[in-house]
Amino acid sequence: MEGSNIIKKYRLKVLSRVTAIIQILGFIVWLRSVFISMGILDYIVQWALDFLNSSWEVGSVTISLGSFIAFFTAIIVTFIVSRSIRVLLEDEIFARIKLPRGVPGAISMLVGYFIVGIGIYIAISAAGVDLGKFGLIAGALGVGIGFGLQNVVYHFISGLILAFERPVQVGDTIEVGTLLGRIKSIGVRSSTIKTYDGSEVIVPNGNLISNEVINWTLSDRKSRKMIPVSVAYGSNPREVLDLIYKAASDHAEVLKNPEPWALFDGFGESSLNFRIYFWMSYDRGLSIKSEVAMNIYDALQEANIHIPYPQQDLHIKSIESNFEDKLVSNPKKKSRKTDQQNGN
């Protein structure tokens, strides 16, 4: 039991549930012993049976209290069993065997649907509903669902498609429109995506099927980053290529295969432009990119290669000979004009 993943992950929850069950069973045994000592156990049992068999007629429908309780008990037990089996499969069995990507999630989802379907069938039978009449009711409900709940059915079918095709799985980092985050769960109707800001977004499964989805971790968790580099004119392009390549390749977390790729991008208005591409783990992408950029800056500074400011040259072709006279007015004329205006 010490090697059980369920015990490790749900130790406190399992302990509390087992304790609660033991307490309930102990209370039932104690209550039974009290009734036996008082000699009223048979009367209590008979009264409980009569109470459960009590029924009411609503039109042509007969409602039994026992059937009503049996229906909801079967539903509750079904969901408890479904949840428990899915936890057992995901945390205990699939964690110990090697299966293709996405297969464990698909099996877990289908097993859950199957158990819920069987449980609902048992609950309806326990409620005393005639399954022949229920077929007619289900057909009528199917027509209503086709018109009123078609979006819900569409997203449900999309969930099944996700389970079989496996384009995205729990733990994948995906991008849907402006949404970027990691898939936390894939449900019957919708999936939960946790963004890097900490928010959890509920996305209908149909959006993951009908829209364009970028899966950054579909086949592996490698990612390529690019850093643009600009240096001043007069710098040696070959030396710059060697420096930025070395700054990227010397980083411990930059992958050596594929190796970094440095390019001379061309001649800009005020700089020589370069680019450096390199691969790393997606989970550490932003941190590694920042560290490589700092390494490039330090290497350029050490080599006395400058990163230029944007600049613009202004060329004046010619100036009129009397441009200066027009620009600076005659002080005497200006003073005489001012005196005339004051005299008027």
Q: Are residues 198 and 290 in the same domain?
A: no
pLDDT of residue 61: 56
Q: Are residues 178 and 40 in the same domain?
A: no
User: Of the candidates 201, 160, 159, which has an alpha carbon nearest to the alpha carbon of residue 183?
Assistant: 201
Q: Are strands 55-58 and 61-64 parallel, antiparallel or unpaired?
A: antiparallel
Q: Which of 148, 181, 215 is the last residue of a domain?
A: 215
> What are the C-alpha distances in Å from 300 to residues 76, 108, 339?
68, 54, 66
Task: Give residue-wise pLDDT tens across range 79-112.
Answer: 888 888 888 887 777 777 777 666 777 777 778 8
Q: Are residues 243 and 343 in the same domain?
A: yes
Q: Looking at residue 180, which CATH number applies to its domain?
A: 2.30.30.60
Angle among Cα 249, 254, 257 to the nearest 5 degrees reads 85
Query: Residue 152, SS3?
Result: helix
What per-residue string of b and e applies to 238-252 under the rule 16 or more CB within 10 Å gives b? Answer: eebbebbbebbbebe
Q: Are residues 157 and 258 in the same domain?
A: no
Angle among Cα 101, 109, 194 to the nearest 5 degrees reads 70
How many domains does one find in the chain? 3
Q: How many CB atoms lie within 10 A of CB 121?
A: 14
Q: Are residues 9 and 151 in the same domain?
A: yes
Q: Which of 215, 248, 281 is the last residue of a domain?
A: 215
Cα dihedral 271, 276, 277, 281 sign: negative
CB 310 within 8 A of CB 255: no
CB 244 within 8 A of CB 229: yes
> What are the C-alpha distances in Å from 54 to residues 42, 125, 129, 328?
18, 18, 16, 113
Q: Are residues 94 and 201 in the same domain?
A: no
Q: What is the pTM of this model?
A: 0.56
Query: Residue 280, SS3?
Result: strand
Distance CA 248, CA 296 (A): 8
Taking 70 as the pLDDT cut, the residues of the chain under it are 1-7, 55-63, 100-102, 128-149, 311-313, 317-344
Full DSSP string of 21-33: HHHHHHHHHHHHH
CB 155 within 8 A of CB 189: yes
pLDDT of residue 49: 75
pLDDT of residue 289: 93
Q: Are residues 262 and 154 in the same domain?
A: no
Q: Are residues 152 and 9 in the same domain?
A: yes
What are 168's two structure tokens?
Answer: 């995205």
Distance CA 189, CA 185 (A): 11
User: Of the candidates 201, 152, 153, which has an alpha carbon nearest to the alpha carbon of residue 177?
Assistant: 201
Q: Looking at residue 237, which CATH number applies to its domain?
A: 3.30.70.100
Q: Are residues 71 and 37 in the same domain?
A: yes
User: How many angstroms separate the first and last alpha carbons of the chain?
Assistant: 113
Q: Are residues 30 and 61 in the same domain?
A: yes
Residue numbers of the domain that contains 250 = 220-344
Q: Which of 161, 187, 206 is the last residue of a domain?
A: 161
Residues in Cβ contact with 309 at an 8 Å cutoff, skipping those fewer than 6 apart: 270
Q: Are residues 146 and 200 in the same domain?
A: no
Q: Are residues 209 and 226 in the same domain?
A: no
Residues in Cβ contact with 329 at an 8 Å cutoff, skipping those fewer than 6 apart: none
